[in-house]
Amino acid sequence: MIDLFSLDQAIQDQQYRFFNKDPGIQRDIDFQKYSAHQGIVIISGIRRCGKSTLLLQFKDFYNHVSYVNFDDDRFIRFTHDDFQTLLTLLLKLNPNADAFFFDEIQNIAGWERFVRRLHDEGYKIFITGSNAYLLSSELGTHLTGRYVKIELFPFSFREILQGKKIDPSDKTTQNLALVLKEFETFLSDGGFPEFIHYQEPEFVIRTYEDILYRDIVARYGIRDVSAVKLLAHYLMTNFTREYAYTSLVQVSGLKSDTSVRNYIRFFEDAYLLFECVKYDYSLKRQFTQGKKIYAIDSGMRNAISLKFSQDIGKSFENQVYIELIRRGYEVWYFRDKGECDFIARRPGSMLAIQVSYEVTPDNFSREINGLTEALEKTGAEAGILLTMNQRTIPDYGGNMEKEIQVIPAWEWFTYQSDYCVIR
């Protein structure tokens, strides 16, 4: 149980800070759609990607909002039994409340029953959370049919340009040079809001450490902290590369493939890393063959590994992967005789995508043949070759019979799309 005075003070402190906060760069989200939806809105994503700020951007759609952040040390003794007291205090402060915003409520066991009761009583509920598994398991058990979900990522390139009031449709030489410069910065620095604002690597390094210690080690009661750190650092440093669980056992010092799989699942649940499997019609073969790993943000990865210049091609590929899952695609890599970076599928669309910083006579055949083979063998309806800034490429005597679009990546990143998918 939590002390009543402490709870009241925490609520008032939090609401004062929340309602006086800078609303930041507008996210590329259909606010009208989600605010009009009758269900509970769940906003999930990695720590410090802007979930609380997104809540603030939803505030103006309601007359009277009450806000609580459960990721506060003053809530450490808060239990399910305190929810009714919390509601009483919130309604005392804001008797006409029509919406409740709850940050990181997943920290409190039994939260879903309280939220369901408020929803059934007619209140609009917004919830944020930084652990995909805890949210999905509890939602599926107690809130089936009552919610929609937004998966939020660090800023996209499109959002960064909007925030800086740079129009990518302006093709003047001066503006195009500015867009290209911003894109190179995006590849090196990523999209974490605080890093963009302050330009201090310490922000993303601290976020990374918080995820390891608070969202993984503490949450799952892991004793071998050094193994978590070694495995996470290795995967971050070697992002975009193929690996097998057996090799990761040796790297991390863990005892088995099963432990490695579990740790990687913890990383995925915290939105830190993503595992990409090989495209295969057999689900069994998909999960028994090599995998690739991608990081939530190239800027975080580069800050952790103290690398960038020699890895720009990998950062390029990584950010394309993140953009695809941001747009709601399920993603695989393709390998047969040749290789293609991504097979991406969502309802009504299946794409084969090759990522090449620059197409040259030396890599032309590899890039084009891999993309062409992926188109033939997967049934994808479109092939896309993403380059840093090439819109057309010479044939170099190769095979370009298949319909392949060559698109500068900076332009592809600015396309309008469904950034958040109702699930």
| 323-349 pLDDT per residue, tens | 999 999 999 999 999 999 999 999 988
Q: Is pLDDT at 265 greater than 90 in this prediction?
A: yes
Q: Do the domain assignments include residue 71?
A: yes
Contacts 24+ apart (CB under 8 A), 362-369: 364/393, 364/394, 364/396, 364/398, 365/396, 365/398, 366/338, 366/339, 368/398, 368/399, 368/400, 368/404, 369/337, 369/338, 369/398, 369/399
Q: Is pLDDT at 61 greater than 50 in this prediction?
A: yes
Q: Which of 186, 193, 413 is nearest to 320 (CA)?
A: 413
Q: Which pLDDT does position 145 carry in this prediction? A: 81
84-93, 211-220, 298-307 — which is least confidently predicted? Answer: 298-307
Q: What are phi and psi of 241, to 5 degrees?
A: -90, 155
Range of the structural domain that residue 49 is part of: 4-152
Q: How far is CA 195 from CA 26, 68, 140, 191, 202, in A?
A: 17, 25, 34, 7, 8
CB 23 within 8 A of CB 53: yes
As a 3-state breakdown, the chain gives helix, strand, coil percent values, each rounded to 5, of: 50, 15, 35
Q: Is pLDDT at 402 greater than 70 in this prediction?
A: no
Q: Do the domain assignments include residue 157?
A: no
Q: Do the domain assignments include residue 46?
A: yes
More confident: 136 or 237: 237
> How many residues appear in the chain?
423
CA separation for the pair 269, 259 (Å, rounded) = 15
CB 243 within 8 A of CB 290: yes
Q: Do the domain assignments include residue 130?
A: yes
Q: Do the domain assignments include residue 399?
A: no
Q: What are phi and psi of 346, to 5 degrees?
A: -145, 165
pLDDT tens column, 16-59:
999 999 999 999 999 999 999 999 999 999 999 999 999 999 99
Q: Do the domain assignments include residue 56?
A: yes
Residue 138 confidence class, pLDDT cut points 50, 70, 90: low
Q: Do the domain assignments include residue 60?
A: yes
* Joined tokens for residue 219: 């949450």
CA separation for the pair 52, 55 (Å, rounded) = 5
Q: Is the dihedral of CA 49, 55, 58, 60 positive or negative?
A: negative
Q: Do the domain assignments include residue 59?
A: yes
Average pLDDT (67-92) is 95
Q: How far is CA 221 from CA 107, 209, 216, 229, 265, in A?
A: 15, 16, 8, 14, 15
- CB-count burial class (<10 Å; 0-12, 13-18, 19+) for 154: buried
Residue 311 confidence class, pLDDT cut points 50, 70, 90: confident
Q: Is pLDDT at 141 greater than 60 in this prediction?
A: yes
Which residue type sits at 339? E
Helix locations, 199-275, DSSP H:
201-210, 219-220, 225-237, 245-252, 257-269
Q: Which pLDDT does position 422 carry in this prediction? A: 33
Q: What is the DSSP letter of 110?
A: T
Q: Which of 113, 155, 153 is nearest to 132 (CA)?
A: 153
What's the distance, Cα to Cα, between the start and end of the chain in Å?
Answer: 35
**What is the number of domains present in the chain?**
1
The CATH number of the domain where 45 resides is what? 3.40.50.300
CA separation for the pair 421, 423 (Å, rounded) = 6
Residue 238 zone, left/alpha/beta (φ > 0; ψ -120 to 50; rest): alpha
